[in-house]
């Protein structure tokens, strides 16, 4: 597997405050990675840098070997899709219209949508289980359905990579699991690279191939769920004494002492 993103000595500063400090990391193609850490640890910022939403103050980031600086906006959008933490209201768009906007990077301001585009749109709607809702207004959907509609837009974008910023934080347990299962399944089927910011370390361990933890803007842990799901490591990530039980192979339960 080759490096999809390559981040070297990355730093982000806002005023005097350092949000990210000297981050060196590679994200490999076809891998589902969770970014962990407590609030303010810099994980959302790292994701935004990868999505080119926030320019780094120092250091270098490259996508598939070519530097961010040389990639065009739409070219980038054909490779990387980003779902912000709080997607805005959509002002009456139907699900299908929202998903169709995902084809923008491919067709641009003037290009016509052909049957291939419509096929991708149908596929994305189908994959997220939204067939029944495709003509409903997005604003009238429940939180979980709305989240799926936005993910469907990302799928229609046909990128090789998804960057998701806390996609499940507003959902109940059932929808959390469903959403992550969906992401996991899609990643396998389409060999997508997925980087997702998560708060729930157990779910992260369950659905991701790799866990990366940040603290105070620095990288403090990086490894497979088996490496990270260890009381000492978790304690250093979250700063509270924690314990871990392995209930079944590859299924961990963490708890706070």
Partner 1 sequence: MYASTSGMPASRPVMPARLPIAAILLWLGALLASAAPWLNQLDAGAVLSAFWAFNPDNYSSILAHFSWAPRVSIAILIGCGLGLAGAVTQQVLGNPLASPTTLGVEAGGQFGVTVATLFAPGLLAFSPDLVAIAGGLIAIGMVIALTWRLGFSPVTVILAGLVITFFLGALNMAFLLLKGEWLGNLFIWGAGSLVQNNWGPFMELWPRVLVISVLILLLMRPLQVLQLGQSSASSLGARVGLIRALALFLVVLMTATVVSRVGVVAFVGLAAPVLARLLGARTFASRILWSTLMGGGLLLLADTLAHWASTWGDGSLVPTGTTTALIGGPIILLALQGFRNTHHMPGQESNLAGFQPRRRAPLLVSSIVAGLIAITVAVSMGWSPGLDGWSWTPVTQWDDAWVWRGPRLLAAMLAGVALGLAGTLIQRMTGNPMGSPEMLGISGGAALAMVLIVLTGADVGRAGQLGAATLGAAGALGLLILLARKHQFAGNQLLLGGLALYVFMDAGLRLVMASGGTVASQLLNWMYGSTWLVSETEAFGLLGFIVLICGLLALIVRPLTLLPLGDTSASSLGLPVTKARLLLLLLAAVLTASATVVIGPLSFVGLIAPHLARVLGQQTVGRQLIVAGLVGGLLLALADYLSRIVVFPNQLPAGLLAALVGGVYFLWGLSRHGRP
E runs forming strands in the chain: 3-14, 17-28, 32-36, 58-63, 66-67, 80-83, 161-165, 193-197, 210-215, 218-223, 242-248, 251-256
Smallest distance from partner 1 to CB 140, Å: 10
DSSP H stretches of helix in 60-168? 73-77, 95-100, 104-107, 115-127, 143-156
3-state secondary structure of 79: coil
158 interacts with partner 1 by CB under 8 A: no
Binding mask 5-24 for partner 1 (x = CB under 8 A): ----------x---------
Contact residue for partner 1 among 57, 123, 137, 254 (CB under 8 A): 137
Which tokens hold the place of 56? 């780094």
Nearer to partner 1, 79 or 231 (CB): 79
Task: Sheet with 58-63: list strands edge to edge.
Answer: 17-28, 3-14, 58-63, 66-67
Smallest distance from partner 1 to CB 257, Å: 33
Q: Which stretch binds partner 1 (CB under 8 A): 21-29, 136-144, 194-202, 235-243?
A: 136-144
78 interacts with partner 1 by CB under 8 A: yes
- Could you tell me if residue 30 is left (phi over 0), alpha (psi between -120 and 50 degrees) or otherwise beta? left
Q: How far apart are CA 41 and CA 44, in angstroms?
A: 8
86 interacts with partner 1 by CB under 8 A: yes
The whole-angstrom distance between residue 94's C-alpha and the CA centroid of its chain comes to 24
207 interacts with partner 1 by CB under 8 A: no
99 interacts with partner 1 by CB under 8 A: no
131 interacts with partner 1 by CB under 8 A: yes
151 interacts with partner 1 by CB under 8 A: no
Length of the chain: 257
Contact residues toward partner 1 (CB under 8 A) are: 15, 48, 51-53, 72-78, 80-84, 86-94, 97-98, 101-102, 104-105, 107-110, 129, 131-137, 142, 148, 150, 153, 157, 178
């Amino acid at each position: 597997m080759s490096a999809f993103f390559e981040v070297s000595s990355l730093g982000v500063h806002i005023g005097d405050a350092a949000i990210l400090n000297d981050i060196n990391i590679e994200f490999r193609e076809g891998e589902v990675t969770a970014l962990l850490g407590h609030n303010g640890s810099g994980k959302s910022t790292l994701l935004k840098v990868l999505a080119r939403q926030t320019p780094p103050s120092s250091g270098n980031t490259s996508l598939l070997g070519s530097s961010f600086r040389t990639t065009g906006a739409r070219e980038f959008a054909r490779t990387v899709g980003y779902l912000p933490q709080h997607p805005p209201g959509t002002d009456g768009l139907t699900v299908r219209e929202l998903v169709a906007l995902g084809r923008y990077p491919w067709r641009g301001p003037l290009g016509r949508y052909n049957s291939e585009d419509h096929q991708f749109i149908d596929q994305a709607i189908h994959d997220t289980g939204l067939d029944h809702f495709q003509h409903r207004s997005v604003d009238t959907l429940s939180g979980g359905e709305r989240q799926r509609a936005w993910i469907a837009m990302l799928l229609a974008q046909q990128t090789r990579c998804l960057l998701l910023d806390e996609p499940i934080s507003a959902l109940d347990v059932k929808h959390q699991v469903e959403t992550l299962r969906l992401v996991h399944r899609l990643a396998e089927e389409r060999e997508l690279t997925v980087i997702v910011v998560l708060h729930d370390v157990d779910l992260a361990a369950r659905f991701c191939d790799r866990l990366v933890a940040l603290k105070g803007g620095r990288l403090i842990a990086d490894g497979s769920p088996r490496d990270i799901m260890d009381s000492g490591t978790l304690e250093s990530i979250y700063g509270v004494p924690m314990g871990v039980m392995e209930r079944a192979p590859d299924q961990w339960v963490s708890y706070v002492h």
